[in-house]
Structure 1
Amino acid sequence: MEQSIALPPLPTAAELPDSDDTAVDNELQNLIPNLLLAILAAIWSDRQDWYFGVDMGIYYLPTAPRKSIVPDGFLSLGVERRRQPSGRLSYLLWEENWTPPILVVEVVSQTYGGEYDIKLSKYLDLGVLYYVIYNPDYWQRDNHAPFEVYQRVDDEFILQSQERFWIPELQLGIGVDLGTYKGWEREWLFWFDRAGSRFPSPDERIEQAQQQAQQAQKALEDLLHLLKQRGIDPDSL
């Protein structure tokens, strides 16, 4: 008779570090994925089946449950949007029904972090479908394009795009464009719709709302002026 050997229980998120405690080289490594998250939170506000993590540890090996990898940003589909009551401490595959991220984003900095080799191999093992590497400052040093998207094809990552890239599973494109975020006008990573129009940043949404309010106020003032010109008292209407 075969006897099964009981494996020790896998640790919970509360028992594991939520990141690798490695400081980022520059603020863009935090701002860029947070912008992608902020835009998703607006355009997918009615969806509860996705999660975007920023600088969060992903634990994916049951044989080495305390080993993690920490992307700058990652997106998972088919998981709970919110974990009550306090949210996620980290992303444990065994607590997410073994759902790996569909997309990972890495921002290359002055200290090279193995984005094109070590991390690429790890994300392949993890089961990631799309791997985005944004390298605006050191792409010549690394002999790569500033923006690259790799897609998992037959158990290997194949470079698909060095420009804007459409992801059918998300019904969104991802790419680079000029914009303003946190009051900083520069090149950022953005989400795009099917027609190629990019979704606005929070700063830009506020500016658009202000412009619409000003236009509405101007239209109202013009209407009141027209009524008065015709001898009509607006208060009598």
Structure 2
Amino acid sequence: MLQGQRKTTLPSSAELPCSDDIPVDNEDQNFIPNFLLFLLEFIWGNRNDWFFGVDMGVYHTTGVNPRVPVVPDGFLALGVPRRRKNTSRLSYVVWEENDVSPIFVLEVVSQTYGGEYDSKIEIYANLGVLYYVVYNPNFWKRDQHQPFEVYRLVDGKYQIQIGEPFWMPEVGLGVGRYLTQTGGLQREVLYWYNQAGVRYQTPEELLESYRNRFGDLNQ
């Protein structure tokens, strides 16, 4: 009963801000998580029990104020509908998602340090995020960390993990880096991997592989 009474005093997603009008300060912070999202839409296209948010506010009750969100560069929640009421989410409001917190969070470190190794790691631990990935290809020496780090929540504390790609059994996916050609550029991005460590390819990569093997379909 107390749980139900508490929820009635919390604001709905329609009442909460869905944008702070502050742009990301580098291209990778937008591209990297969106790349993972589009790849996931391809490999999990027949599933409706997951949601991947990019640069979206996550409202929760484990902080000082439930009206103040944490905004990961990317996050994955499992066991929630792909679409709520057949429409897109304005934000991810944990108390409207049967108290399901994200199981995976990604932060891409930029020139302006955003607390990825201290303040945010504490927030995500309190929220119960099982896997926390920090991707820091450009400023890892400055921050005295590695370019790619995976943390797992153990007894309420994050422990850094070893291995890449790193397999996350509770998620059913692995994650790791790969140098690829996208948009006319060769760049390092993050990919999803299967349990055997095999990288999931994008539809474009599969089509190119098919053409290289069997020739252009239009010929």
Calculate the TM-score normalised by the size of structure 2. Answer: 0.90
Percent of pairs identical after alignment?
53
Counterpart residue type for residue 92 of structure 1: V
Name 1:56's counterpart in structure 2: 56
Structure 1 segments, 4+ long, off by >4 Å, are 5-8, 215-218
Q: Distance in 2 between matches of 1:132 and 1:142?
A: 15
CA apart distance, 1:215 = 6.2
Name 1:183's counterpart in structure 2: 184
Q: Kindly indicate whether the alpha-carbon contact (under 8 Å) linking 2:211 and 2:217 is maintained by their aligned counterparts in 1.
A: no
CA apart distance, 1:179 = 1.2
Give CA deviations for 1:50-89 in whole Å, capped at 9, x if unaligned: 0000000000017722111000000000000112343100
Aligned-partner SS, 1:161: coil
Give CA deviations for 1:36-61 in whole Å, capped at 9, x if unaligned: 01111111111100000000000001
CA apart distance, 1:184 = 2.8
Aligned-partner SS, 1:68: coil
Structure with the larger RCO, 1 or 2 (CA within 8 Å, 6+ apart): 2
CA apart distance, 1:170 = 2.0
Q: 1:153 to 1:211 in 2, by over 3 A?
A: same
Name 2:204's counterpart in structure 1: 203
CA apart distance, 1:201 = 2.9
Name 2:9's counterpart in structure 1: 9
Paired residue total: 214
Q: Kindly indicate whether the alpha-carbon contact (under 8 Å) linking 2:42 and 2:202 is maintained by their aligned counterparts in 1.
A: no
Q: 1:8 to 1:216 in 2, by over 3 A?
A: closer
CA apart distance, 1:29 = 0.2
Q: Distance in 2 between matches of 1:108 and 1:81?
A: 28
Output aligned runs, 1:128-207, within 5 Å. 128-161=129-162, 163-207=164-208
Output aligned runs, 1:23-34, within 5 Å. 23-34=23-34
Calculate the TM-score normalised by the size of structure 1. Answer: 0.83
Q: 1:7 to 1:58 in 2, by over 3 A?
A: closer
Mark the structure with the bigger radius of gyration. Answer: 1
Structure 1: which 5+ runs fail to align? 219-237
Counterpart residue type for residue 195 of structure 1: A
